[in-house]
Amino acid sequence: MAFPYLESIACPSVKGHTQTVIWETAYKRQLKIEEELGKNFTPKLMAFLLAPSTLDEIEREWEIRLEDYNGTWADLCNHLYSPHIITKIRNNLGVEVRSRTKGEVRKGSEFTDKKKYEATIAKYEQRLGCSMEHFNESIEKQKIENMKDELVKIQVQYSEAKIAVQHARKNKSSEVDTLAAAAKQMRNRITYLNNTITKLEAELPKKVEAYEIVKEYTKKNKDLMDFIEESRSWEEVSQLEEDSLVDAIKRQKNEQSIPYYTWRFVCDKIDRKTAQLIEDTLEENLNKGNGVNGEDGYVNVTSFPMEKSFEFFVDYPKSSNMFRAFKNKGKELGKILMEGVAHHLGIKFVCCEGETFVNSPMEKTMGGDMLEWVGI
């Protein structure tokens, strides 16, 4: 009697992660229920078909009140197979998770998932341009609005400047060159603002999406780590932490092997506060996408006081866009960058052109003999 029954329920073997197979099987069944009962049939509607005792049991086991649940069937799957609920199910069933052989520390799929989550967080933080904690959608929107306000003002000023230039030329004024230069600077600023506003408006939805993904995977990573700590022995958790540390050291060693180069310049007659502002502005803005693979965090800016000025060292990888840009434009790029910093901070300062050097190997600049590292 048993054989015919067993043959009737036999199914082909499935290769895959056990939890994934269970999730997919449950989800297919749920979709089938949805198909039979109507597309808009939700878990909440299902509650009306169940006895009060069953609803109480669901609340105890699943930690949700089904008649108040507003999620979809997919949301319910995600909830049921979350680390917290899975741990609860395993504990209720008395399931023990052990390594395959004595003395072996079992990494399991959770460690693989942890790596995937961390890789996803790193990828989308790169798109975000900062860590999740430092991103604020309202501030980003306000930045765009401020630029639009500035654009309206400078367009009016530019119109007036063109009239002033025409008037000066007509009257053969000695100030015509100064006025023309000021008008040109305004025109350049208008072009910059138009381009930047367009770029920021296009990037903002992508940044918001990246923020939500980072937020989601940060929570998943935390839940997973809680699950690992609850379900594994301290030896296994310790080994996993050690493996994570080894990975971090490997990445650090990889970074240390990258050849670095230096842009060195001097700003005359500034105080410590201004030097710090310049340092912070350069480090914040130059650190966007200058890593080996386009990631952030590879540019370092340091300033040192001199007698009546400050000396700045900007160190960057040879593989960065910055190195290539200096190779193409030379000292002119340094001048452009510092003009941008001055405008951004709303202050004026003098950079000594004869004291500027670019793309000098960093190990030489750290030796202290400037004549040697600039090639004299």
Whether 229 and 273 map to the same domain: the answer is no
d(CA 290, CA 295): 6
Yes or no: say if 188 and 336 are a contact pair by the CB < 8 Å rule. Answer: no
Of the chain, the end-to-end C-alpha distance in Å amounts to 97
**Longest distance between any two alpha carbons in the chain, whole Å:** 113
Asked whether residue 220 is assigned to any structural domain, the reply reads yes
Q: Is residue 89 part of a domain?
A: no
Shared domain for 364 and 273, answered yes or no, is yes
Does residue 239 have a pLDDT over 80? no
Which of 254, 270, 305 terminates a domain? The answer is: 254
SS3 call for 311: strand
Give the residue from 212, 234, 254 where a domain finishes.
254
Query: Quick check: is 109 in a domain?
Result: no
Average pLDDT across the chain, whole number = 77
pLDDT digit string, tens, across residues 274-290? 888 898 888 888 876 54
Does residue 85 surpass a pLDDT of 80? no
Same domain, residue pair 302 and 222 = no
- Phi/psi of residue 94, each to 5°? 75, 30
Question: What is the CATH number for 275?
Answer: 3.30.70
Same domain (yes/no): 248, 273 = no
In a domain, 119, yes or no: no
User: Which one is predicted more confidently, 96 or 204?
Assistant: 204
Q: How many structural domains comprise the chain?
A: 3
Q: Is the pLDDT of residue 369 over 50?
A: no
Q: Which of 210-214, 240-244, 370-374 has the highest mean pLDDT?
A: 210-214
Distance between CA 49 and CA 66 in Å, rounded? 11
How far is Cα 327 from Cα 321, in angstroms, rounded to an integer? 10
Q: Tokens representing 157?
A: 């000023």
- How far, CA to CA in Å, does 308 sit from each of 269, 279, 301, 334, 352? 6, 17, 20, 21, 12
Instruction: Using DSSP, state whether 37 is helix, strand or coil.
Output: helix
Residue where a domain stops, chosen among 220, 254, 288? 254
- What is the mean pLDDT of the segment spanning 73-84? 77
Question: Which residue from 291, 288, 279 is spatially nearest to 338, judged by alpha carbons?
Answer: 279
Q: How far apart are CA 81 and CA 25, in angstroms?
A: 12
Residue 107 backbone phi and psi in degrees, to 5 = -80, -50
* Residue 348 located in a structural domain: yes
| Judgement on whether residues 239 and 278 belong to the same structural domain of the protein | no
Residue 175 lies in a domain: yes
Pair 249, 154 in one domain: yes
| Alpha helix segments (H runs only) across the chain | 2-8, 18-37, 43-46, 52-62, 73-80, 83-93, 108-128, 137-170, 176-231, 234-256, 272-286, 321-329, 331-345, 362-365, 370-373
Backbone angles phi, psi at 309, to 5 degrees: -155, 180
**Contacts (Cβ under 8 Å, ≥6 apart) of 304:** 310, 311, 312, 313
In terms of domains, do 237 and 273 share one? no
Q: Which pLDDT score is estimated for 148?
A: 93
Specify the residue for token string 């809680």. Answer: 226
Q: What range defines the domain where residue 312 resides?
A: 260-373
Dist. CA 135–CA 210, nearest whole Å: 10
Contacts of 97 (CB under 8 A, 6+ apart): 90, 106, 108, 231, 232
In a domain, 127, yes or no: no
pLDDT at position 149, please?
Answer: 93
Q: Are residues 298 and 244 in the same domain?
A: no
Q: In 3D, which of 289, 340, 348, 278 has the Cα closest to residue 316? A: 289
Q: How far apart are CA 143 and CA 139, in angstroms?
A: 6
Q: Does residue 121 belong to any structural domain of this protein?
A: no
Calpha distance 360→376 (Å, rounded) = 13
Residue whose entry in the numeric block shows the structure tokens 């609850």: 230
Q: What confidence tier does 271 reach under pLDDT thresholds 50, 70, 90?
A: confident
- Same domain? 142 vs 218: yes
Percent of the chain with pLDDT over 90: 7
State pLDDT tens for residues 164-181: 999 989 888 888 889 998
280/345 same-domain check = yes
pLDDT surpassing 70 at residue 291? no
Q: Is the pTM of this model over 0.85?
A: no
The neighbouring-strand residues paired with 264 are 313, 357
Q: Are 232 and 96 in contact (CB under 8 A)?
A: no
295-323: average pLDDT: 79
Integer Cα distance of 262 and 315 in angstroms: 4
217 and 318 housed in the same domain: no
233 plus 327 within the same structural domain = no
